[in-house]
Amino acid sequence: MSSHGQTPHAPAHESASQAHHGHSNGHQAGHGTLRSYLIGFSLSVILTAIPFWLVMSGAIDSKLFTAFLVMGLGVIQIVVHMVYFLHMNPRSEGGWTMMALLFTLVLVGITLAGSLWVMHHLNTNMMPMSPEMMKNMP
């Protein structure tokens, strides 16, 4: 495809951005190279294939360990996407995108952990219910 002609461009573009990165830092934020996109894509394919294979084949007996692996690989893939596709780095926009991301991650962590924690305790502290009561529920 035409994208092959892109490769020689990449190093030139890199060095140009290095030369005056202090000036146009913000503008370099959304740019990648063919190489970085392909690396990100290959990593994503691998990181998607492994959890699907783990669950579909049931390769590991322990469900808990499989669950940990699936979630761990998911987190790694999110980081891969952030770096290679969304071009996150601590310098873009003077560091403010990273600050916003960290703040959001803190909020997401509080929301997820807090909800699960509180609701789990509400569940365990519910009045016990017999199967007959469950059947007669509206």
Partner 1 sequence: MSQTQAQTHGADNGKPQFYLTEDHHPEGSTMLGFWLYLMSDCLIFAVLFATHGVLGRNYAAGPSPADLFDLPLVALNTAMLLFSSITYGFAMLQMERGAKIETLFWLGVTGVFGAAFLSLELYEFNHLIHEGAGPTRSAFLSSFFTLVGTHGLHVTFGIIWLITLMVQVGRHGLIEANKRRLMCLSMFWHFLDVVWIGVFSFVYLMGVLG
Residues in the site for partner 1, rule: CB under 8 A?
2-3, 6, 9, 13, 19-20, 22-23, 25-27, 29-34, 37-38, 40-41, 44-45, 48, 51-52, 55-56, 63, 66-67, 70-71, 73-74, 77-78, 81-82, 85-86, 92-94, 96-97, 100-101, 103-104, 107-108, 111-112, 114-116, 119
Q: Which is nearer to partner 1, 103 or 133 (CB)?
A: 103
Helices within the chain (DSSP H only): 9-19, 34-57, 63-84, 96-124, 131-135
Q: Which is nearer to partner 1, 19 or 129 (CB)?
A: 19
Min CB(113)–partner 1 separation in Å: 9
| Calpha distance 127→138 (Å, rounded) | 17
Cβ neighbours for 33, distance < 8 A, ≥ 6 positions apart: 6, 10, 13, 14
| Calpha distance 88→80 (Å, rounded) | 10
Min CB(15)–partner 1 separation in Å: 12
Min CB(58)–partner 1 separation in Å: 9
Residue 62 DSSP SS3: coil
